[in-house]
Amino acid sequence: MTKKDNNIPTWAIILIVIIVIIIVVVFVISLGTVNAGNVAKIPKEFKDTKEEAKRQHDRLKGLVEKQVNLRTKLEKRFRRIYFSIRVGFVIIWFALLTGLFFLGLIKNLGDALNYSEALILLLITFNFLTFGTITKLETFIELLKLRVENWVYGKYVNINEKIELNKSELEKLTEAIS
């Protein structure tokens, strides 16, 4: 019986030695902070099966749709509230002018305009006495608007951020599925 000659070529031995030296140099330069375990790990996105990703995609799609519907419902409610407040102010103004008409103080359109201007000046005066400046009225109105929004939104104050976050996650899942 003859033995086969299994000689490894010298270039292969030199290549293996160079690779080992490079690995040792990289490890020494990084002061041992290179963790080969992290390199070999498969990302979590690839561990999930396609069915799990599709189920999560469908669930997230339904959630985003529900949140968008809720946001539109809340925006409609805001528009109705603000419109009713404006209509209320017009009704108060009209009732005041009608009351002045029945008292005989308004006889023509010029009298109605004069009393409307007097009412506006009276409101500006009360605002100035209450807040100190005219610009404070804008701040007061913004605070009232904020209170109404908090009353209407309640626990849905940050719904817009949630919708955007869920949409971005939905896009990632769509890319992972395809």
Task: Let me know if 173 is exposed, middle or buried by CB neighbors in 10 A (0-12, 13-18, 19+).
Answer: buried
What pLDDT was estimated at residue 48? 53
Side chain identity, residue 108: N
Smallest Cα–Cα separation from 54: which of 164, 68, 62? 62
Ordered per-residue pLDDT tens for the chain, 178 residues: 455 556 778 888 888 889 888 887 777 776 656 555 555 554 555 555 677 777 787 888 888 888 888 888 888 888 888 888 889 888 998 999 999 999 988 899 999 999 999 988 888 888 778 777 777 777 777 887 778 777 777 777 777 788 888 888 888 877 777 7
pTM > 0.75: no
The pLDDT value given to residue 91: 93
Q: What sign has the CA pseudo-torsion 19, 20, 21, 23?
A: positive
> CB neighbours of 26 closer than 8 A, spacing ≥ 6?
34
CA geometry: angle 164, 169, 175, nearest 5 deg: 130
Contact 111, 105 (CB under 8 A): yes
